[in-house]
């Protein structure tokens, strides 16, 4: 054994040190394995949280590439993880309008976190080019230049927000354009305004800021002094009962004008159940009140015009059909609409037209009657529209036409159905507001004229046969009035005879009509209607003869069987004489028919109900 050979003792010591080293390495390996397992468990938990965070999440590297994505981000963008990981930048998904801002945030955040916001909004798109509004949160990963980005889709919220803003804009515009004032006020005696719409300027002559919080004028002070107490009482009564209120009253505007207003509102219930405020709407009803007053006056005027139930102005008749005519006249007079009067010749169409004019608001303006059948075709324009001096040979002076003469009043077109198609076209242009041009002039004129037409033709049939333009028909056929022929209202004969005898009797002494004359008048058919009756009575007073226009006067069974010298005792007046005569007729026919009512009604040409009513009137039942 040499001196350089280690001793046994040295070898044992070295082996001991090696064993200690091996034990130390084993402990370190065990600890490393435990650390690796802990890291794996931590990574698994992190990935689980990353995947299940509920939002689209990515990890963004310093160069903006995406190193990790979760399933939500895949769903948002339409790209798979393998397509995105380390292959796409997160800015590839950002809308062009937001791109530069996102890049700047990314760079600044890595210089100093305070230089870029943590949360903001931007738009991203998927692989199909569809854009979504996103709320983004970016956080840096500690100790790295990487960051975590979370994306929440707020597209629906933004759409709702946009719709709400648009709705508020429309509501604001609507409130500003309303012809009145929307408001919210305190429930106090001064009605202190908290909010008023822009319409308050139009309604009160005060601007909104002058009314809010009683800046310049308390609303209650604007209410007419005579109406204030009533307004407060109605509001308090409605609020106490928990119901809305509606009322009308007067206000005095800033310009000193009095207006009638209509207000409707209701109490605003606070969370504690108290009603401290009122919301509502106030509108101007001054024009409506004026119209109401005008209608009231018109109604009074109409009542005055119908002092006797059997007369309407100059029109005489108590028959049910005539009562309907009176009602139509009243309604037509209350409007400016065109009127067409149907009726046989002699039924009084012009008389009705004049009554409509007299009862209308334009009664002080001209009433111009025109016989359309008497106007030659070549004179149509000059007659209706007038002409200028020198327009044609003989035109030595300017002449106004019918429209000029009737301006502001009524133009009565009698025999309107006689106007040819060319004339209808010319009138239609005027009626449609196109105006007219006098012959020989280049100046267009317009006239404010109400048309009342009259005809004995069936205009609907005229349209079907092409003799009347359909558009012209609808322009004039707004309010139709049909006059019954005299043969359908013979119960008016006593009134009409009395009326005409009073007009034509010399010295106010009316002639006596015996039973024979009354019988002939009653049994005649009157093809010429009231005008014929008027002429017959005038000739009777003048010539003392009863001369009918018809070649032969129909004489019924009644007239043949009545005595020629029937004196009708007890008749103190024409009406009484007519009643006695009518009773005698009915009784005579009943006796001939052995009191069979149906047969008697047929012979008298009346319905059974009318016969029964007259039998009851004359005590024949």
Total structural domains within the chain: 5
- My answer on whether 88 and 147 are in the same domain is yes
Strand partners, 264: 246, 281
> Is 305 within 8 Å of 312 (Cβ atoms)?
yes
Residues with Cβ within 8 Å of residue 492, at least 6 apart in sequence: 316, 317, 318, 319, 322, 486
Region 545-569 average pLDDT: 49
Residues 194 and 141 reside in one and the same domain? no
Q: Which residue has the higher pLDDT, 136 or 582?
A: 136
Q: Which uninterrupted H or E stretch holds 583?
A: helix 574-592
Helices first, then strands: H and E counts in the chain? 24, 17
Q: What mean pLDDT comes out for the span 132-158? A: 90
Answer yes or no: are the C-beta atoms of 283 and 461 closer than 8 Å: no
Based on the number of CB atoms within 10 Å of its own CB, is 469 exposed (0-12), middle (13-18) or buried (19 or more)?
middle
Q: How confident is the model at residue 301 (pLDDT cuts 50, 70, 90)?
A: low
User: Which of 455, 484, 513 is a domain's end point?
Assistant: 484
Average pLDDT over residues 126-140: 92
Residue matched to tokens 């609409």 = 337
Strand order in the sheet with 119-125: 66-69, 56-60, 147-153, 131-140, 119-125
Element (H, E) at 136: strand 131-140
Q: What angle do CA 269, 272, 275 make, to 5 degrees?
A: 35
- pLDDT tens by residue, 582-598: 788 888 888 777 778 88
User: At 294, is the pLDDT very low, low, confident or very high (cuts 50, 70, 90)?
Assistant: confident
What does the alpha-carbon distance between residue 621 and residue 611 come to, in Å, rounded to a whole number?
A: 11
Judge if 230 and 341 occupy the same domain.
no
Q: What is the pLDDT of residue 560?
A: 42
603 lies in the same domain as 501: yes
| For the chain, percent of residues with pLDDT exceeding 90 | 43
How far apart, in Å, do the first and last CA atoms of the chain sit? 177
Residues 69, 26 within the same domain: no
154 and 186: one domain?
no
User: For residue 337, is it within any domain?
Assistant: yes
Find the radius of gyration of the CA atoms of the chain: 50
- Give which of 581, 496, 504 is closest to 544, Cα–Cα: 504
Does 302 map to a domain? no
310: in domain: no
| Selection from 380, 377, 357, 379 nearest residue 369 by Cα | 357
**pTM score, two decimals?**
0.47
Q: Report H helices in 396-457.
A: 402-405, 421-431
Range of the domain at 33: 6-52
The CA-CA-CA angle for residues 23, 27, 32, to 5°, reads 145
| Residues 440-455: tens digit of each pLDDT | 888 888 889 999 999 9
Is 500 part of any domain?
A: yes
Better-predicted residue by pLDDT, 322 or 38: 322
pLDDT for residue 14: 79
- Provide the pLDDT for residue 43: 61
Residue carrying the six token digits 């037209």: 353
Does any domain span residue 318? no
**Residue-averaged pLDDT of the chain:** 84
Domain boundary among 284, 315, 341: 284
Cβ atoms of 262 and 239 within 8 Å: the answer is no
- CATH number of the domain at 104, please: 3.30.450.20
Q: Which two tokens stand for residue 386?
A: 């007038």
The pLDDT of residue 42:
58
Same domain, 375 and 509: no
- Same domain (yes/no): 338, 280: no
* 50 touches 70 (CB < 8 A): yes
In a domain, 293, yes or no: no
- Residue 48 has a pLDDT of 63
Q: How far is CA 364 from the centre of its chain?
A: 32
pLDDT at 557: 36
Report yes or no on 130 lying in a domain.
Answer: yes
- Tens of pLDDT, residues 172-200: 666 666 678 999 999 999 999 998 888 88
Whole-angstrom distance, CA of residue 621 vs CA of residue 581:
17
- Confidence category of residue 556, pLDDT binned at 50, 70, 90: very low
| Bridge partners (DSSP) listed for residue 186 | 277
Domain check: are 397 and 515 in the same one? no
Non-local CB neighbours of 86 within 8 Å, separated by 6+ positions = 65, 66, 67
Alpha-carbon span 473 to 470, nearest angstrom: 5
Report d(CA 457, CA 239) in Å as an integer: 63
- Residue of 477, 451, 495 lying closest to 312 (CA atoms): 495
How does strand 367-371 pair with strand 410-414? parallel
- Any residues with CB less than 8 A from the CB of 329 and at least 6 apart, and which? 312, 352, 355, 356, 359, 481
Of 483, 551, 206, 518, nearest to 346 by C-alpha is 483
Q: What are phi and psi of 601, to 5 degrees?
A: -60, -40
Residue ending a domain, among 158, 190, 217, is 158
Residue 322 lies in a domain: no
- Clarify whether residues 74 and 151 are in a common domain: yes
In a shared domain, residues 340 and 469: yes
Residues 337, 418 within the same domain: yes
The winner for highest mean pLDDT among 201-210, 295-304, 607-616 is 201-210
User: What Å distances lie between residue 174 and 143, 170, 171, 179, 497, CA to CA?
Assistant: 58, 6, 5, 10, 65
- The pLDDT assigned to 567 comes to 47
């Amino acid at each position: 054994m040499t001196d350089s050979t280690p001793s046994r003792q040295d070898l044992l010591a070295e082996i001991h040190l090696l064993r200690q080293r091996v034990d130390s390495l084993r402990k370190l390996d065990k600890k490393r394995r435990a650390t690796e397992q802990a890291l794996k468990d931590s990574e698994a938990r992190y990935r689980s949280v990353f995947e299940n965070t509920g939002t689209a999440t990515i990890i963004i590297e310093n160069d903006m590439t995406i190193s990790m994505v979760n399933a939500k981000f895949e769903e948002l963008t339409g790209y798979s993880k393998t397509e995105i990981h380390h292959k796409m930048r997160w800015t590839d998904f950002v809308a062009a309008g937001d791109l530069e801002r996102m890049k700047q945030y990314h760079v600044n955040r890595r210089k100093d976190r305070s230089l870029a916001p943590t949360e903001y909004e931007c738009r991203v798109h998927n692989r199909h080019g569809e854009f979504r509004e996103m709320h983004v949160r970016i956080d840096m990963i500690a100790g790295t230049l990487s960051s975590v980005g979370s994306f929440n889709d707020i597209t629906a919220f933004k759409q709702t927000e946009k719709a709400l803003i648009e709705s508020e804009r429309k509501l604001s515009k609507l409130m500003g354009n309303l012809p009145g004032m929307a408001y919210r006020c305190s429930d106090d005696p001064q009605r202190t305004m908290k909010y008023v719409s822009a319409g308050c300027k139009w309604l009160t002559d005060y601007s909104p800021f002058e009314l809010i919080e009683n800046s310049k004028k308390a609303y209650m002070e604007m209410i007419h002094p005579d109406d204030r107490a009533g307004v407060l009482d109605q509001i308090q009564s409605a609020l106490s009962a928990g119901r809305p209120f509606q009322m009308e009253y007067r206000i005095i505007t800033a310009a000193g004008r009095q207006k009638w207003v209509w207000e409707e509102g209701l109490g605003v219930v606070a969370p504690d159940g108290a009603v401290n405020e009122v919301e509502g709407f106030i509108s101007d009803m001054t024009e409506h009140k004026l119209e109401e007053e005008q209608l009231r006056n018109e109604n009074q005027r109409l009542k005055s015009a119908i002092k006797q139930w059997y007369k309407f102005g100059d029109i005489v008749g108590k028959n049910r059909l005539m009562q309907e005519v009176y009602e139509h006249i009243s309604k037509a007079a209350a409007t400016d609409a065109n009127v067409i009067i149907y009726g046989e010749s002699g039924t009084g169409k012009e008389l009705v037209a004049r009554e409509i004019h007299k009862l209308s608001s334009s009664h002080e303006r001209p009433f111009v009657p025109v016989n359309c059948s008497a106007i030659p075709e070549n004179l149509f324009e000059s007659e209706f529209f007038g002409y200028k001096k020198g327009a044609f040979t003989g035109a030595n002076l300017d002449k106004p036409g019918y429209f000029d003469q009737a301006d502001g009043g009524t133009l009565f077109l009698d025999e309107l159905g006689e106007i040819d198609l060319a004339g209808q076209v010319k009138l239609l242009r005027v009626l449609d507001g196109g105006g007219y041009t006098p012959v020989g002039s280049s100046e267009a004129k317009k006239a404010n004229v109400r048309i009342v037409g009259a005809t004995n033709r069936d205009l609907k049939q005229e349209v079907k046969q092409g003799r009347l333009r359909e558009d012209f028909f609808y322009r004039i056929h707004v309010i139709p009035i049909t006059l019954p022929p005299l043969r359908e209202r013979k119960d008016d004969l006593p009134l009409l005879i009395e009326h005409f005898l009073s007009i034509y009797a010399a010295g106010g002494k009316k002639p006596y009509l015996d039973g024979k004359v009354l019988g002939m008048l009653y049994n005649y058919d009157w093809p010429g209607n009231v005008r014929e009756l008027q002429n017959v009575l005038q000739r009777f007073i003048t010539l003392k003869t009863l001369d009918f226009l018809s070649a032969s006067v129909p004489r019924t069974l009644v007239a043949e069987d009545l005595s020629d010298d029937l004196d009708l005792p007890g008749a103190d007046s024409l009406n009484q004489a007519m009643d006695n005569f009518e009773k005698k007729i009915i009784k005579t026919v009943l006796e001939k028919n052995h009191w069979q009512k149906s047969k008697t009604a047929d012979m008298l040409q009346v319905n059974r109900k009318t016969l029964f009513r007259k039998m009851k009137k004359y005590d024949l039942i």
